[in-house]
Amino acid sequence: MSAVRDTMAGAASEDGRPRANGVSLQRKLPLLMTAVLLVILAGGVLLAYREVRVSAELVAVHRVQEVADQIARLVETSGPRLGERLRPIAADSTVLRALTSPQPSTSDLNAVRQNLTYLETPADSALVSELWSADGRVLVTTGDSLSHRGRPTGAAVSTGRDSVSIGAFYSIDARVYYWSSLPVTMEGRRVGTLAQRRRLNAQPNTERDIARLAGQDVRILFHNADGSLWTTLGGKPVAPPWSPLTIGTLKTYQHPEVAPGSGRMLLQESRVAGTPWVAAIEIPVTSLGNAPRQMLRRFTIASLVLLLLGAIAVWFIVRRMISPLARMTAAAEGIAKGDYSQRVEPRGRDEIARLGASFNRMASEIEAAERELQASAQSAEQAQITAEAANAAKGNFLAAMSHELRTPLNAIAGYVDLLDMGLRGPLTAEQRTDLGRIKRSQEYLLGLIEEVLVFTQLDAHQLGFRMQDVSVDAVMRDAETMVEPQIRARGVDYSYLGCDPGLKVRADREKTQQIVLNLLTNGAKYTNPGGAVTVSCDSRNGSVHVRVTDTGAGIPEAMLTRIFEPFVQLDRRLNQPREGVGLGLTISRDLARAMGGDLLVESTVGVGSTFTLVLPRTDAPASS
Ligand code: ADP
């Protein structure tokens, strides 16, 4: 129920003014414009973030690949450097002797061992240096006591003629090793091999330095090209990365063993030339978003500041623009309520100020027009009162006069009858003719007075109606008996085309007859001898139309409405003094309208006129 009341309260109020509880334009506009600003700024920030993120990813992939390539190139140089250290020993005469003599002397072997001992370095405690004969036998070993696990055969290691070969990584006891070797040649012939086993063992800060140079949270890994072993830079074997997944344009893997808790990793690889190794750089995918996220934060803060400034500016502008409109609205509402003194104060010279000035001008004009209207309404009211009083006086006069005239007229009729009956003595033939004329004049005058009486009663709405179902045919036949002789006496032909006897109207029978008689009399009166008066009737749209047509002089178009006004006659001079006062049609139309019908006329000058009496048809059985 309260919801219904709320809904109704939300609609416009009864006097059409905007609801009082609705949000005004002054508040709505700043909110709306701030919202639009917010959407634009948010959209801009998100778009920028997206672009920055995509380019950050591209840059990161490129940089990580560069780091992988650089490390691969760095490692490539270790082969030649090793060669430089081994080559003087390979050319040493004791080494050549130990390799070429069928039975190397102990002193030669000791000298070789002494030479190899120079290669030892404190950085690699697991370093092993050996001299192998051409058929793969180990002639001298220095360094850590070496188990045979992971030792390659001489053929597998020494591939080049005079260059250092590097072998694949292998692991023993969670440590990663590799062999490097240099062939020992004499007179272009390979006589043996100098081999070294090294441990992959970068210093922890080496990795940190590389990561710092890369500028990212990178991890450096190596693996054999055939994927057989993955290791950290520090020489710790790790499982290969798994679960490959392409996110956008990034190829990612999981490698929590290397970077615990880092989620998915971006991996870029670079083959180390001259070795069976591949350098691999890993970077957590999440760290790629750091820069874009920072940018997003900065942009968001800047946007919020801009939004705040924009909202303040919008508020000021809207206030400046809407306040005059709000004042104008209040003034217009005042005017609508009838307070025409309402005005606004236009400030400045802009469009709103001009609108305010126009509003004031309009308000002044409305005020003047209203005053004028009130004055004319007052005088119209006064005039109506006067007219009504005059009309009432005229009605009273006409009623009184008609009434007063009837008494002497009746007396005249009485005395005429007295004389006619010979009660005052015998009458000559001339006297009897004169008496007939007096009698007809008396009847005519009485008729006129009756007409005036009816008119005044109609005018004062005092006439009573006895409404009933009336047969049109019956009315016409009664009227016919009354006027047909009179019409024929004027030398005018009369014909009644007949009405359906079942056709009935809802009307006062006497008054209907009075109208029909008036129309028939007029038809005869304004038609020259030799002319004709014809009556027909039909029914349409719930009404009955009784048409009285004559072939008389006709009525000019300009007079077609005027002939229904009281006391209007087309040409009074042409009429005989006994031809009426111009009330017949007035009374007839008023009677027809009072019974819910109408009286219409069509006429052509020189051809004739048709008067149509329209009355509401009834379908009920006739009571007449
Ligand atoms: P009255 O006939 O008493 O003068 P009416 O009110 O009946 O008054 O008619 C008003 C005038 O309309 C008549 O004076 C006459 O000029 C004109 N008029 C009425 N009926 C006809 C008709 N059938 N043909 C031509 N003119 C007519």
Question: 514-567 pLDDT, tens per residue?
Answer: 999 999 999 999 999 999 999 999 998 899 999 999 999 999 999 999 999 988
Going by CA atoms, what residue is nearest to atom 7 of ligand 1?
A: 584
The Cα 526–Cα 547 span in angstroms is 16
Taking a C-beta distance cutoff of 8 angstroms, is the pair 608, 541 a contact?
A: no
Ligand 1 close to Cβ of residue 610 (< 6 A): no
Smallest CA-to-CA distance from 183 within 208, 154, 220 is with 154
From 123-137, 153-167, 254-268, 481-495, the region with the lowest mean pLDDT = 153-167
Tell how far the Cα of 549 is from the centroid of ligand 1, in angstroms. Answer: 13
Q: In which band, very low, low, confident or very high, does the pLDDT at 284 lie, cut at 50, 70 and 90? A: confident
- Condensed to tens digits (0 to 9), the pLDDT of residues 101-154 reads 888 889 989 999 998 888 887 777 778 888 988 888 888 988 866 655 556 654
Tell how far the Cα of 603 is from the centroid of ligand 1, in angstroms. Answer: 12
More confident of the two residues 368 and 118: 368
Ligand 1 close to Cβ of residue 552 (< 6 A): yes
Q: Give the nearest ligand 1 atom to 548 CA.
A: 23
The pick from 525, 535, 560, 590 for probing ligand 1's pocket by mutation, whose C-beta has the most ligand atoms within 8 angstroms, reads: 525
Tell how far the Cα of 582 is from the centroid of ligand 1, in angstroms. Answer: 7
Ligand 1 close to Cβ of residue 455 (< 6 A): no
| Other Cβ atoms within 10 Å of 440 Cβ, number | 11
pLDDT at 18 over 70: no
pLDDT at 10 over 50: no
- Condensed to tens digits (0 to 9), the pLDDT of residues 56-104 reads 888 888 888 888 898 899 888 887 888 888 889 988 999 999 999 888 8
The Cα 93–Cα 443 span in angstroms is 180
In DSSP notation, 112-172 reads HHHHHHTT--TT-TT-EEEEEETTS-EEEEEES---STTPPPHHHH--SSSS-EEPPPEEE
Ligand 1 close to Cβ of residue 582 (< 6 A): yes
Going by CA atoms, what residue is nearest to atom 20 of ligand 1?
A: 522
More confident of the two residues 189 and 211: 189
Between the alpha carbon of residue 403 and those of residues 366, 393, 407, 455, 558, the distances in Å are 53, 15, 7, 13, 36
Going by CA atoms, what residue is nearest to atom 9 of ligand 1?
A: 582
pLDDT score for 176: 92
From 16-30, 426-440, 510-524, the region with the lowest mean pLDDT = 16-30
The Cα 90–Cα 131 span in angstroms is 9
pLDDT at 171 over 50: yes
**Amino acid type, 252:** T
Going by CA atoms, what residue is nearest to atom 18 of ligand 1?
A: 522
Sign, CA torsion 39/43/44/45: positive
Mean pLDDT of the chain: 85
Which SS3 state, helix, strand or coil, does residue 492 take? coil
Ligand 1 close to Cβ of residue 515 (< 6 A): no
Listed ranges 251-260, 274-283, 608-617; the one with the highest mean pLDDT: 608-617
Ligand 1 close to Cβ of residue 553 (< 6 A): yes
In the predicted model, what is the mean pLDDT of residues 330-334? Answer: 89
Q: In which band, very low, low, confident or very high, does the pLDDT at 620 lie, cut at 50, 70 and 90? A: very low
In the predicted model, what is the mean pLDDT of residues 230-257? Answer: 87
Going by CA atoms, what residue is nearest to atom 21 of ligand 1?
A: 522
Q: In which band, very low, low, confident or very high, does the pLDDT at 507 lie, cut at 50, 70 and 90? A: very high
Ligand 1 close to Cβ of residue 531 (< 6 A): no
Q: Give the nearest ligand 1 atom to 527 CA.
A: 24
More confident of the two residues 28 and 584: 584
In the predicted model, what is the mean pLDDT of residues 610-618? Answer: 96
pLDDT at 621 over 80: no
Q: In which band, very low, low, confident or very high, does the pLDDT at 573 lie, cut at 50, 70 and 90? A: low
Going by CA atoms, what residue is nearest to atom 24 of ligand 1?
A: 526
